[in-house]
Each structure stands twice: as structure tokens, then as C-alpha cells.
Amino acid sequence: MKHIEGMLTLDELTELIDERAITQVLAVFPDFYGRVIGKRITGDYFIEHVAEHGMHACDYLLTVDMDMTPVPGYRLSSWETGYGDFHAVPDWATLRVASWLDSTAIVICDLVDEGSGDAIPVAPRSILRRQVERAAAAGFTPYTASELEFYLFNDTYEAAREKRYTGITRAGWYIEDYHIFQGTKEDDVVGAIRRHLQGSGIPVEFSKGEWGPGQQEINIRYAQAMEMADRHTLYKHIAKEVAWGQQKSISFMAKWDAEEAGSSCHVHMSLRHADGDGSAFVGEGAEPLAGSHLECTPTFRHFVGGMLAHARDITLCLATTVNSYKRFQPDTFAPTAIAWSYDNRTSGFRVVGRGESLRVECRVPGADVNPYLAYAALLAAGMDGVANAIEPPSLFDGNAYVDSTLPTIPASLSEAVDAADASAFLRSAFGDDVVDHLVHFGRTEQALYDAAVTDWERIRYFERI
């Protein structure tokens, strides 16, 4: 296997720590918001203790809200159970240089039960790993890619907070989609992010201006599903830290402003034969795909059929915040309809590529997506389609925004939560404990939003009601 710049083995890390080229290791794991959580560990202590035994972390970290407030009602962890520890065990395949920090390495950990050593089922990496293993048992290796967009601001995070996120200055002031000149003006930050991604074992393809003023996209190289989810999570973390270091800020909100384009995360997904014999979407058994110039296998059709059939059930895993649903607006390049098309950006699922590169692009997730949950849900839905030979409807042709016959993406977090809660498919694929955890997470977010008094309400009602 080709060595990727920035990746380390444990022996290499040990040598770098002995030479004092590395002095600290970040041992981290993703939470339900997709954030990087963990500890900064001195290099010597990491080698002497954590490398072999892992580390402790409080199990409340998978049950708190975004403000780190303990939330009652979870089975995993509560005041009744005493908020104990789980164990974080380094996944050595993720060990890499933290290029954006001085003399630092980083490793992503899996979460296991302190006593039994079994995986914590509701941990985001555990949820994805289970679906990857199920695909492997069926003879497939899933590959994914995230096209992740963000807005760049000239204000620091601290200044933006003091302004209550109004009157903050975007890095650009006109739509900069593919604009090289505007990209040059923002490349002090975006270029630094690209370099640090590359230097941290995350291969970069390109960056480009996007449809909003100050909006950019960096595309990183596709990989097997777990590796890509890790790359996605680190990309977001690196981008924010690099911007902060330059007195700027970045937002991955799905819809940061009602008047501006939302930030998407288009997810590309394909299956390869587990024996290494190329794409499962083309090759032996391929036949013409009606409505296109493509040839594809029944596996491809059925994989898409499963995703379409279960799209409403899995939307909670693709859009986990109240803000996620503000992005689903007509004529914005964010989808509203559940349909598949060839190279058509108005539908929720877009077929792209040909031959070995043939794949499905799910356009539902926003930039706020947790990639472990999204990849797991899309993979589970697609594999259910393969297992049960679910045929998709005909390829859609036209403007999906205006076709009222098409099924639609849930319009709110509460609608998506109800669909997930009632889904026999999702409960079969993920298990009741995981679905109940996700549902409680979603209902907690919705309840906090419902109790908030917003600027919109004050502007509308303060004087005139």
C-alpha cells in the first residue's frame, strides 16, 4: 500500500517522541455532533501508558447537548448510573502528524465498555463500523467521499460571538463560484488548510469558490468509508483551528443566513468487490440504464433503490440539527425531493461518473452532518436494497423542485425524528438502542429550539403584537 504523507506507525511515533520531535499526542473520538473530543497527552506518557492500555473518558460525552449539559433520558449514561467511564482505544490506522500544531500527533480512538471490552454500540464510529462489516459479509467494500462547504469570515470567533453573529464580515462580497481571483484573496486561509490537510495524512484534490460570498469548498480524496469519515471529521477541525490561528472564523452551519446559499456536504458512495475485483456497479451483468447512456449492474440499481426507499427513514442521520432543515429550499441547489437523476442537481440523489467511477451522490446532507451517521445510514439503506432487490423508480428528468408527484425530504427535525422512530428498517439495521439514542438526541435538540426566543420573534413581535 502506498504510504500517505503525514501518516505514522506506532514505531515511528515512538522514535519521534524519543527525539522530542513530537511532544504531545491528541487522543480523540467523534461525538454526536461530529466534533473532535479527547485529551492532550504528553508524548512519553502516551507511549508508556495510553498506547497499550487506552484511556478513560466520561461516558456522558455521548449524551450531552452542544453546551455540554447532561441530558436525562439516555440508557447509555445518566445521573442514575453515576456517569461512569468508557474506554477509548487508539485505532492505529488513524495515527498521523497534526501538521497544523507544533510537535503534535493525533490518533482517533474507538470507544469500548470498561468491563467487557465490547464496542459501545451508540458511538458514531461503532455505528458505521457495524454497517461496513455487514457490507463486507455480503462481499462488498464501501467507498465514500464528502464534498464539504463552509463560509469564511474576517471576524474571529470571539468577535463574532460578541456581535451575536450579526454584522460579521464575510471574506467575499459576491457569488464566487469557481472564481479564481476571489479564491486567491481567500487563499491565505484556504491554502493553509489544504497544506495542513495534506501534511496530516488527508490527501486533497482541490478547493474552489462556492455559490455564496465568502463560501469555499475543499475536496479531499475518497477512501473506504471509515477512513473517509475520519478524514471528514479532521478536515472540519483543522479548518476551524487554522482559521482561528489567522484571526478568522469558519462556519459549517447548513444555513448560516436565510438570504444566502446553504453549505452542503454532498456524499458520494460506491461499492467495490471485497476481493478487490473492481467496482460492483459495473462489469459482469451490467446492462443499459434506461434514461441514460450508462451501463450498470443490478447491484447499482438495487443500491440506489434502497436509498430512495428509505430516504425519509434515514434523514435524521443526514440532517441532525434544527438548522439543517432551513437549507432545503427550492432553487438553491439543496434538494427538496426524493428522486434520482443522471447529472441533475435538482434531485436528492444524482448519478455521476461512468465505468469504474460510477457512483451515487446524495445531496441531502449539509455541512453540519456527522459523517459516521450519514455514511452508516446510506450504506444500510443501499445494502437493504441489494439484499431485497429493491428496484428504483425510473430516472427523473427535469426540474425536481416543481414536480409535486415526487416524495419529499422531511421538512423539519421533528418530522425526521418521527420517521426514524417509526422505521422498522432503521431499527433492524441499527438496533433499537442506537435508534432510541438518535431519536432522543433529535428530540432534545428540537425541544431546546422550541424553548428559545429568537431574533426573528423579537423583530416581528416586540412592537407590533
> Both 277 and 314 in a single domain?
yes
- pTM tops 0.75: yes
Domain contains 465: no
Tell whether the model's pLDDT for residue 292 goes beyond 90: no
Sign, CA dihedral 56-28-265-147, equals negative
Return the pLDDT at 248: 97
> Both 140 and 78 in a single domain?
no
Q: For the domain that residue 446 is a member of, what is the CATH number?
A: 3.30.590.10
> Both 70 and 113 in a single domain?
yes
pLDDT-derived band at 2 (thresholds 50, 70, 90) equals low
Q: What is the mean pLDDT of residues 377-395?
A: 97
* Distance, CA of 334 to CA of 323 (rounded, Å): 13
Q: How far is CA 209 from the centre of its chain?
A: 20
> Both 410 and 434 in a single domain?
yes
Domain end marker among 120, 146, 172: 120
Return the pLDDT at 42: 97
Q: What is the mean pLDDT of residues 353-358?
A: 92
> Both 233 and 332 in a single domain?
yes
Give the structural domain span for 101.
10-120
Q: For the domain that residue 99 is a member of, what is the CATH number?
A: 3.10.20.70
What letter does residue 453 receive in the DSSP assignment? P
Domain contains 3: no
Q: b/e per residue, 242-279, with b = 16+ CB within 10 A?
A: bbeeeebbbbbbbbbbeebbbbbbbbbbbbbeeeeeeb
Return the pLDDT at 293: 87
For the purposes of burial, counting CB atoms within 10 Å of the CB of 134, is it exposed (0-12), middle (13-18) or buried (19 or more)? middle
Q: What is the mean pLDDT of residues 129-150?
A: 97
> Both 46 and 81 in a single domain?
yes
Domain end marker among 97, 120, 143: 120
> Both 99 and 156 in a single domain?
no
> Both 364 and 298 in a single domain?
yes
Tell whether the model's pLDDT for residue 88 goes beyond 80: yes
> Both 322 and 428 in a single domain?
yes
Domain contains 5: no
Domain end marker among 85, 120, 155: 120
Nearest to 292 by CA among 346, 345, 350: 350
* Distance, CA of 205 to CA of 257 (rounded, Å): 28
Structural domains in the chain (count): 2
> Both 408 and 264 in a single domain?
yes
Domain contains 464: no
> Both 98 and 136 in a single domain?
no
How many helices, marked H, and strands, marked E, lie in the chain? 15, 17
pLDDT-derived band at 276 (thresholds 50, 70, 90) equals confident
> Both 116 and 137 in a single domain?
no
Domain contains 373: yes
Nearest to 392 by CA among 315, 326, 307: 307
* Distance, CA of 287 to CA of 458 (rounded, Å): 58
Positions of E strands within 99-193: 104-112, 140-153
32-46, 235-249, 288-302, 305-319: range with lowest mean pLDDT: 288-302
